[in-house]
């Protein structure tokens, strides 16, 4: 089957929720994928920061194959050893062993729904989130998301949730009071164009929430699991939140999310207040354990930090007139554009053999596998000026 045939079948069989994809990817290995026409691409998006170890990584393939042949699904009416070990390992790498507890879920949206439920159990009525933030598209997570265009078709949303400008400490301080249950914030706003929190903002959010007895919820769905150069972005900020939400890279390509509650927040949710049929699925948890062990054994968080800094510095050193700068941390980067629409640049990149994401009209998002080789990163940077020049012809 060709890409064109796949497009026709997609339009006939699938709801038009995503539009029609330009290519059909049929195979992946490491940091490369191949489409239905046999074209190869360097994958600089990793399924939107999901495939932390790339495609068909031997550790994930082995762990999943062994687990599905041993125990595929149990439900949460019984315990399974893989979910237990994954939860304990997550707490260890987060530095929260003995002070945190984990709830395993399916996705980032669900993790944020759970965090919102936890905030309601404080008995307080209001929640503060950030403008331009993104926390998911289910109704609670969508209400937390500070992007009106995504919210408006589905109003009315969940009451009691307000938004403040991201990075504005004074606005956050003015919005939080004794009725505030929680503050939700992303260390880097990925869907807004890879916008990092300003220096000191997360520390100020921690101080403000502690002052008023509110929970600080950090959405690390995109920034967690080594992507920004450490296990979690909150570790770089030198703070400990009350709740951390995770997904994406945790499952190494399988649907897996987690909520980590810290201190008193870990004990608010009680039996029957949330249910997840597939939460803690042994096969997904086996993949998650393989991801955590490989990141640890191969120092991939440190690798992400080093290669990410190199990409950012090299792109800026190009001094191409279309590049306004590079934002982000580790291997979550946004290339800001001055002229060409990002969609045109992403199309030119695809024709040149690279998959990137036009996350906003003026930003390309790079979120490659953490195993990205330095030489592949250099090749992309070397080809970027021609990609930008070719994109200008499409505008």
Q: Is 376 a residue of the active site?
A: no
Given 166, 248, 362, 376, the catalytic residue: 248
What are the DSSP E strand ranges found in the chain? 25-29, 32-35, 40-43, 100-105, 126-130, 161-164, 180-185, 188-189, 195-196, 215-219, 243-246, 257-262, 323-329, 332-337, 354-355, 357-360, 363-366
Residue 137 annotated as binding site: yes
Residue 185 annotated as binding site: no
Q: Is 219 a residue of the active site?
A: yes
Pull the structure tokens for residue 292.
């955590």
Q: Is 248 a residue of the active site?
A: yes
Given 35, 43, 219, 390, the catalytic residue: 219
Residue 277 annotated as binding site: yes
Residue 222 annotated as binding site: yes
DSSP letter at 231?
S
Judge whether 324 and 286 are in contact, CB under 8 Å. no
Residue 134 annotated as binding site: yes
Judge whether 161 and 148 are in contact, CB under 8 Å. no
> Other CB atoms closer than 10 Å to residue 389's CB: what's the count?
13
The number of C-alpha atoms within 13 Å of 60 and in the hemisphere containing its C-beta is 21
Q: Which residues lie below 8 Å from residue 42, measured CB to CB, with a gap of 6+?
A: 31, 32, 353, 354, 355, 368, 376, 379, 380
Pull the structure tokens for residue 268.
């608010």
Given 134, 184, 234, 380, the catalytic residue: 134
**Do strands 354-355 and 40-43 pair parallel, antiparallel, or not at all (unpaired)?**
parallel
Judge whether 176 and 124 are in contact, CB under 8 Å. no
> Other CB atoms closer than 10 Å to residue 242's CB: what's the count?
27
Q: Tokens 């500070």 correspond to what residue?
A: 146
Give the C-alpha separation, 74 to 71, whole Å: 8
Using left for φ > 0, alpha for ψ between -120 and 50, and beta otherwise, residue 54 falls in: left
Give whole-number Cα distances, 223 to 198, 285, 319, 359, in Å.
15, 19, 28, 16
Give the C-alpha separation, 364 to 233, whole Å: 21
Q: Which residues lie below 8 Å from residue 119, measured CB to CB, with a gap of 6+?
A: 127, 181, 182, 215, 217
- Which residue ranges make up the annotated binding site? 134, 137, 219-222, 277
**Residues tagged active-site:** 134, 219, 248
Where is the binding site for pyridoxal 5'-phosphate, in residues? Answer: 134, 219-222, 277
């Amino acid at each position: 089957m060709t890409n064109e045939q796949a497009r026709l079948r997609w339009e006939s069989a699938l709801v038009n929720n995503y539009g029609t994809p330009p290519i059909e990817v049929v195979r992946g290995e490491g940091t490369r994928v191949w489409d239905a026409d046999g074209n190869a691409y360097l994958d600089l998006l990793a399924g939107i920061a999901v495939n932390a170890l790339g495609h068909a990584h031997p550790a994930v393939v082995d762990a999943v194959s062994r687990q599905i042949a041993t125990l595929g699904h149990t439900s949460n009416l019984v315990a399974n050893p893989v979910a237990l070990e994954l939860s304990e390992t997550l707490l260890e790498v987060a530095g929260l062993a003995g002070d945190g507890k984990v709830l395993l879920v399916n996705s980032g949206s669900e993790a944020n729904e759970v965090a919102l439920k936890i905030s309601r159990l404080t008995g307080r009525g209001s929640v503060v989130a950030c403008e331009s933030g993104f926390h998911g598209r289910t109704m609670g997570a969508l209400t937390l998301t500070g992007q009106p265009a995504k919210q408006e078709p589905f109003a009315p949303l969940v009451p009691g949730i307000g938004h403040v400008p991201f990075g504005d400490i004074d606005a956050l301080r003015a919005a939080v009071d004794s009725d505030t249950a929680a503050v939700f914030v992303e260390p880097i706003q990925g869907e807004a164009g890879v916008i990092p929190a300003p220096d000191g903002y997360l520390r100020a959010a921690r101080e403000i929430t502690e002052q008023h007895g509110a929970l600080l919820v950090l959405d690390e769905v995109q920034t967690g699991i080594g992507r920004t150069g450490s296990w979690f972005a909150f570790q770089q900020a030198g703070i400990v939140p009350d709740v951390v939400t995770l997904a994406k890279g945790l499952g190494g390509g399988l649907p897996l999310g987690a909520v980590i509650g810290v201190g008193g927040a870990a004990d608010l949710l009680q039996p029957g207040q949330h249910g997840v049929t597939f939460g803690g699925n042994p096969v997904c948890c086996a993949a998650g354990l393989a991801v955590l062990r490989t990141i640890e054994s191969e120092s991939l968080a440190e690798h992400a930090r080093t290669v990410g800094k190199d990409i950012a510095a090299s792109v800026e050193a190009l001094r191409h007139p279309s590049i306004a700068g590079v934002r982000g941390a580790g291997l979550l980067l946004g290339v800001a554009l001055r002229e060409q629409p990002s969609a045109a640049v992403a199309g030119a990149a695809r024709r040149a053999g690279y998959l990137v994401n036009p996350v906003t009209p003026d930003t390309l998002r790079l979120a490659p596998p953490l195993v990205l080789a330095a030489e592949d990163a250099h090749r992309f940077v070397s080809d970027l000026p021609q990609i930008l020049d070719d994109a200008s012809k499409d505008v």
